[in-house]
């Protein structure tokens, strides 16, 4: 389920980026409301509302685009819905619980990540992947959250230096103890 949640977070982010880039976010969040199908003209006759036709064209194209990206297990929950806003909200409700638990799990994983038998590059890549997944899920992290605990990273560096059999480990650790002080907020690696 964890890889599925990660994929869903990435899917959500990708869909939102495309929708926002084309200024259609109001159709997803419901702020662009469905206009009445018909209106009364100045002469008092009921006529088709041209705004409804435009709204329907855009909304149904967005709904069709969403359907092409939704996985098979979610399709039965959204196929009978009338607007892309209803589709988006339903998907959000269905995924909210798993998304919330996945984010808590990722934060926990981030706190207890260990270098173990990894190279420094593999270790930092693993941290970045977890941070990217959290960001895709709508969570922004301060650089302090990414750094985790300074002592944890220093212990990992000390272990790496020891395995490399460097004699001046204290010098290397001193150089790393001030890391992060020049980083900007939300800057990741």
Query: How does pLDDT run across 153-182, given as a tens digit for each residue?
Result: 666 666 666 665 544 444 444 444 444 444
Give the mean model confidence (pLDDT) for residues 63-86.
Answer: 90
Cα–Cα distance measured from residue 86 to residue 59, given in angstroms and rounded to the nearest whole number: 11
46-48 and 38-40 strand pairing:
antiparallel
Answer with the residue of higher pLDDT: 101 or 188.
101
pLDDT of residue 166: 47
CA distance 181 to 147: 11
Please give the residue that has the higher pLDDT: either 51 or 72. 51
Give the pLDDT of residue 127. Answer: 81
Residue 93's pLDDT is: 79
As a whole number, the mean pLDDT across the chain is 76
Identify the residue with better confidence: 131 or 4.
131
Q: Nearest CA to 188 among 114, 133, 108, 109? A: 133
Q: Which residues of 1-19 are buried (b: 16+ CB within 10 A; e: fewer)?
A: eeeebbebbebbbebeeeb
Q: What is the pLDDT of residues 96-144, one digit of tens each?
A: 656 677 778 878 887 788 878 888 888 888 888 877 777 766 666 666 6
DSSP for 48-80? E-HHHHHHHHHHHHHHHHHHHHS-TTTHHHHTT
The pLDDT assigned to 126 comes to 84
Closest CA to 12 of 51, 76, 60, 70: 70
Q: Is the pTM of this model over 0.85?
A: no
pLDDT score for 139: 67
Counting Cβ atoms within 10 Å, is residue 68 exposed (0-12), middle (13-18) or buried (19+)?
exposed
Largest Cα separation within the chain, whole Å, is 93
């Amino acid at each position: 389920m964890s890889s599925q949640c990660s994929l869903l977070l990435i899917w959500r982010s990708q869909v939102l980026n495309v929708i926002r880039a084309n200024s259609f976010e109001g159709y997803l969040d419901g702020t662009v409301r469905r206009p009445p199908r018909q209106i009364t003209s100045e002469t008092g006759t009921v006529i088709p509302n041209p705004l409804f036709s435009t709204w329907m064209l855009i909304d149904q194209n967005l709904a069709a685009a969403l359907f092409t990206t939704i996985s098979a297990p979610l399709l039965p929950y959204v196929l009978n819905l009338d607007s892309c806003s209803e589709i988006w909200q339903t998907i959000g409700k269905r995924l909210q619980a798993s998304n919330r638990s996945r984010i808590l799990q990722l934060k926990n994983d981030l706190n207890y990540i260990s270098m173990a038998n990894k190279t420094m590059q593999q270790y930092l890549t693993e941290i970045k992947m977890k941070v990217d997944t959290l960001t895709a899920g709508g969570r922004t992290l301060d650089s302090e959250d990414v750094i985790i605990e300074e002592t944890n990273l220093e212990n990992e560096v000390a272990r790496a230096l020891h395995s490399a059999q460097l004699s001046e480990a204290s010098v290397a650790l001193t150089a790393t103890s001030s890391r992060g002080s020049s980083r900007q907020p939300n800057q990741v690696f």
